[in-house]
Amino acid sequence: MRNVSWDELEKKFADLVQIRRDLHMYPELSFQEVRTPTIIAQFLQDCGLEVKTGVGGRGVTALLRGGKPGKTVALRADFDALPIQDQKDVPYKSKIPGVMHACGHDIHTAALLGTAYALSRVKEHLQGNVLFIHQFAEEVIPGGAKAMIEDGCLDGVDVVYGAHVLSNLPVGMIGYKPGALMAAGDKFEIAIKGKGGHGSMPHLSIDPVLVGSQIVLHLQQISASRINAVDPAVVTVCSFHGGDSYNVIPDQATLSGTVRSFSKEAQEAIKSHIEKIVKSSCEMAGAQYEFKYEYGYPSLWNDPEETERVKRIAELVAGEEHVVELPLQMAMEDFSYYMLERPGSFFLVGGMNRDIEAVYPHHHPKFDVDERSILLIGKMFISLVFDYLSSH
């Protein structure tokens, strides 16, 4: 029945591509998704599934009951987009100014819809149930996963799997990693309050831009000299704003950035060091400051047993030569919240194809991936469902 499901998925591929391209043309930002969950819910209802909308806010779940009693497998895809202007020259370029699917969530959504369709065609042969989780707001802390879990989306679920397409992994490849895979991701904001003045007389001012520049330089030293070298961590300042004129020293400057870590020890040490650097830099200049630190998603940890299943299934689906163990990823993912509640595994699927210029990194204005990754994710999900349910 697994191969029959694959056939059903492949027959549906052209439709899934159209769904993906429609979502790509009409992307929606995190916590603002209205059209996307409506399309998802209608598709799943047409498949005859038990659909719930508004889960955790804007999430959609759909339960497929198999023909025989057994365990319940959950499969998750995210569907939010990013505040980026689409610069690709393709027919399905985003029609929403300043918003695009620059991370592949439209691919994930199409793949999970295809999986739901294919499995619904053979549901009488399933020895258990499948819950399809379509999650909103993965890109913005606090994310949608936590809210959906709190709303009960994992009730009755025994195991959960997720997938992400990668633009730096060739199409046809599948990556896995037991244990720690992705970093915890936190956010910090620093407001430096100085004393404005004329650019020609800095001695009469307290320049927050200068103080901020010193802080940026010192923050870069934290992971290099304050954190154990075998405990990976990243501190990055991603925005710096201060002043509107070339000859006016502003009263205030603001910085914001992200912290990525794998251990609680590194996470807390980095937070402490950031505040110490901000405090001492401001005190030396006579400036005031406000420091805000927001804990984001926890580190994503894959269950070793379920990841071994992913590896075995990946070799069956793609061929052993197309399956690789991944290094640690400094990206963050709120799929980590599901892993805190249930065993499971998160795997990565290749989408890079130089022939169609699908080579740009995630969150790039020209990001795109090979749409055949939809089929590979779908075949992985289908095979994991059959393997898990039949083994339990």
- Answer yes or no: do 259 and 370 share one domain: no
Please check if 139 is assigned to a binding site: yes
- Answer yes or no: do 42 and 177 share one domain: yes
* Mean pLDDT, residues 57-64 taken together: 98
Q: Is 138 a catalytic residue?
A: yes
- Answer yes or no: do 387 and 320 share one domain: yes
**Contact (CB, 8 A) for 106 and 11:** no
Domain boundary among the residues 244, 271, 297 is at: 297
- Answer yes or no: do 223 and 155 share one domain: no
- Answer yes or no: do 274 and 351 share one domain: no
Name the strand (E) or helix (H) holding 300. Answer: strand 300-302
- Answer yes or no: do 353 and 248 share one domain: no
Total-model pTM: 0.93
- Answer yes or no: do 239 and 177 share one domain: no
- Answer yes or no: do 291 and 306 share one domain: no
**Contact (CB, 8 A) for 86 and 95:** no
Please check if 164 is assigned to a binding site: yes
The 10s digit of each residue's pLDDT in 259-279 is 999 999 999 999 999 999 999
Q: Which of 33, 78, 80, 334 is catalytic?
A: 80
The 10s digit of each residue's pLDDT in 69-109 is 999 999 999 999 999 999 999 999 999 999 999 999 999 99
Contacts 24+ apart (CB under 8 A), 153-158: 153/55, 153/56, 153/59, 153/61, 153/74, 154/74, 154/338, 154/341, 154/342, 156/72, 156/129, 156/131, 157/72, 157/73, 157/74, 157/131, 157/342, 158/71, 158/72, 158/73, 158/342, 158/343, 158/392
Domains in the chain: how many in total?
Answer: 2
Please check if 362 is assigned to a binding site: no
Residue 69, domain extent: 2-183+299-391
d(CA 229, CA 262): 12
Q: Which of 28, 33, 86, 138 is catalytic?
A: 138
366: nearest Cα among 375, 374, 356, 379: 356
pLDDT value of position 322: 98
**Contact (CB, 8 A) for 353 and 370:** yes
CATH number at residue 198: 3.30.70.360
- Answer yes or no: do 225 and 311 share one domain: no
Domain boundary among the residues 256, 274, 297 is at: 297
Domain boundary among the residues 297, 332, 358 is at: 297
Please, what is the end-to-end C-alpha distance for the chain in angstroms?
17
pLDDT value of position 3: 81
* Mean pLDDT, residues 356-371 taken together: 97
Report the percentage of the chain scoring pLDDT > 70. 100
CATH number at residue 56: 3.40.630.10
Q: Tell me the CA distances in angstroms from 26 to 82, 100, 248, 290, one per residue in order.
A: 12, 8, 42, 38
Letter for the amino acid at 231?
Answer: D
Please check if 101 is assigned to a binding site: no
Letter for the amino acid at 359?
Answer: V
- Answer yes or no: do 211 and 287 share one domain: yes
